[in-house]
């Protein structure tokens, strides 16, 4: 059966010629920022990937097809669309079957990237174990996806609104390599240091690429999480953003916000509580992750040559 994949000519040519490609998610466009800032940020991230020697492939579902790379018109349409489904492993197929428009989370982007033959993916931060999960059982589908799908994901750690110790424990249980880039500490999205030590540290894109290739040679399923700290000049230290996170969490609980609505609500409230600093930091960290992902993708291509 033919997969429902539609490639832009740029991405198709890069894959056919064995050039580096970096997957990019689309929920940051539909659920992370308002229009037109969302489209401007998406184009800036794509430009950053190109500037560092790789081809960007922003992934979304439209008209019953998984689009691997978006044209300018498609990106504009996605950025302005209403009622876009937020897709993870559970609802990717349903969205395709219904012909709905869908934006891919980390888990869904990993799945689509792997189907398209793309091995590296840059995002902002991954989902994880939500605070209070010991009673709510609210754990992102992003975490088990790492054990299933062989894609290296570059992120600024897990979102700081989450329970980071429990998130690391679940990743360890799933056998997922968690690699801090250039430091020992596990980063916390807007902050460089969560106060937790990362299980692994690597200091070059070449090392990370070699580990990805070695996993394949050993027959190990799943991918890697590369925790790339936000640039120092853009970070909001944990002691500064912590009070805003606690306030937003308390408001979410008081209003009964749950499931897929939690993260967008919290990010929106933290944006307001920080006077927009959190969004500026978010854009800076995504650009930083795009740079590293492009370098890793290039190193993987060199190793496979």
Nearest to 142 by CA among 270, 130, 165: 130
Residue 159 annotated among the catalytic residues of the structure? yes
What is the distance, to the nearest Å, from the Cα of residue 276 to the centroid of all Cα atoms in its chain? Answer: 21
What 247-253 contacts at long range (C-beta under 8 Å, 24+ apart), as own/partner pairs, is: 247/273, 248/161, 248/273, 249/131, 249/161
Kind and range of the H or E element at 161? none
Per the residue annotation, which of 145, 159, 166, 235 is the catalytic one? 159
Please give the backbone phi and psi of residue 135, each rounded to the nearest 5 degrees, phi first: -115, -30
What b/e string do you get for 253-287 counting C-beta neighbours within 10 Å, with b at 16 or more? eeeebeeeebbebbbbbbbebbeebbbebbbbbbb
What Cα–Cα distance (Å) separates residue 74 from each residue in 5, 36, 71, 116, 165? 15, 14, 5, 19, 39
Residue 240 annotated among the catalytic residues of the structure? no
Say how far apart CA 112 and CA 68 lie, in whole Å.
Answer: 8
User: Roughly what angle, to the nearest 10 degrees, separates helices 238-255 and 262-273?
Assistant: 130
Hey, which residues are catalytic here?
A: 25, 159
């Amino acid at each position: 059966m033919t997969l429902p994949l539609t490639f832009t000519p740029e991405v198709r040519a890069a894959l056919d010629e064995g050039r580096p490609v970096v997957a990019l998610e689309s929920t940051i466009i539909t659920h992370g920022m308002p229009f037109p800032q969302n489209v401007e940020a998406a184009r800036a991230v794509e430009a950053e990937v190109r500037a560092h020697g790789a081809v960007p492939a922003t992934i979304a579902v439209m008209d019953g097809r998984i689009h691997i790379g978006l044209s300018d018109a498609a990106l504009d349409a996605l950025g302005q669309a209403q009622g876009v489904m937020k897709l993870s492993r559970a609802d990717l197929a349903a969205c395709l079957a219904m012909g709905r428009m869908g934006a891919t989370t980390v888990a869904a982007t990993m799945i689509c990237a792997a189907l398209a033959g793309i091995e590296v993916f840059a995002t902002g931060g991954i989902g994880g174990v939500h605070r209070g999960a010991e009673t709510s059982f609210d754990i992102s589908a992003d975490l088990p996806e790492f054990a299933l799908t062989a894609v290296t994901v570059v992120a600024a750690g897990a979102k700081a609104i989450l329970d980071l110790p429990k998130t690391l424990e679940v990743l360890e249980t799933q056998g997922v390599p968690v690699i801090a880039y250039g430091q020992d500490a596990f980063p916390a999205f807007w902050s460089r240091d969560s106060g937790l030590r990362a299980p692994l540290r690597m200091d070059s894109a070449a090392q990370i690429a070699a580990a990805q290739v070695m996993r394949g040679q050993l027959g190990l399923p799943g991918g890697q999480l590369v925790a790339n700290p936000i640039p120092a000049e853009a970070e909001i230290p944990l002691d500064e953003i912590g009070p805003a996170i606690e306030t937003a969490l308390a408001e979410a609980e008081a209003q009964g916000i749950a499931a897929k609505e939690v993260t967008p609500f919290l990010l929106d409230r933290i944006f307001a509580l920080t006077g927009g600093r959190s969004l500026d930091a978010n854009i800076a960290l995504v650009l930083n992750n795009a740079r590293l992902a492009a370098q890793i993708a290039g190193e993987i291509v060199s190793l496979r040559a």
